[in-house]
Amino acid sequence: MSLHEGESNLEYLQRKLCAVYPDLCPLFSIEFADAVLMVPRSVLHRAAADLKEIGFERFGFVTAVDNGDDFELVYRLQSGEFGVGIFLKTEVPRCEAVIETLTDLWPAAGWPEREVYDLFGIEFRGHPDLRRILLPDDWVGYPLRKDYKDDSIIPRPDYI
């Protein structure tokens, strides 16, 4: 499969993804000139492995967003072949904040997953060394969660 005349790299990526993985096609979108693939938590690892197989060889980062009832995990993957990056996203419920690690696919995911664990409390099942990376081992809580409480924090005024 090759790039058609007048087709952008993102459109080519979408066409290739839909041809190879039709079940992922409805989950793919292009937002603000970036590819976005939103998948259920249960298929995140398989989707990541499939993306690596078709040419997303570079792991950029993983971060999380606290949406209240759940977290949104956001991964950034890059492809030299396609000349584009993709955001791979999934939702993780707050009450069961566990997801499969991607360190078996990209060893570079190790430290960023530890950072998400340290600051949000999301566990990465199968991670080879899941422990705090920024905060002391005896730190209580996860400071980037919206429900984090600390008496030394000065609350922002409501008008900001």
Q: What is the pLDDT of residue 153?
A: 79
Max CA separation in the chain (angstroms)? 60
Compute, in degrees rounded to 10, the torsion defined by CA atoms 93, 95, 42, 118: 80
Q: Kindly state the percentage of the chain with pLDDT values over 90.
A: 64
In the chain, the domains with their CATH numbers are 9-98 (3.30.460.80)
Model pTM? 0.87
pLDDT digits (tens, 9 = 90+) for 121-142: 999 999 999 999 999 999 999 9
Answer whether residue 150 shows pLDDT above 90.
Answer: no
**CB half-sphere exposure, 20, CA atoms < 13 A:** 14
Contact 99, 118 (CB under 8 A): no
CA 116 to chain centre: 10
Average pLDDT over every residue of 31-37: 84
Q: Average of pLDDT values for 6-26?
A: 80
Amino acid 90: pLDDT = 97
Measured between alpha carbons, how far is 24 from 53 in angstroms, rounded to an integer? 14
Q: What is the pLDDT of residues 44-101, one digit of tens each?
A: 999 999 899 988 999 999 999 999 999 999 999 999 988 889 999 999 999 999 999 9
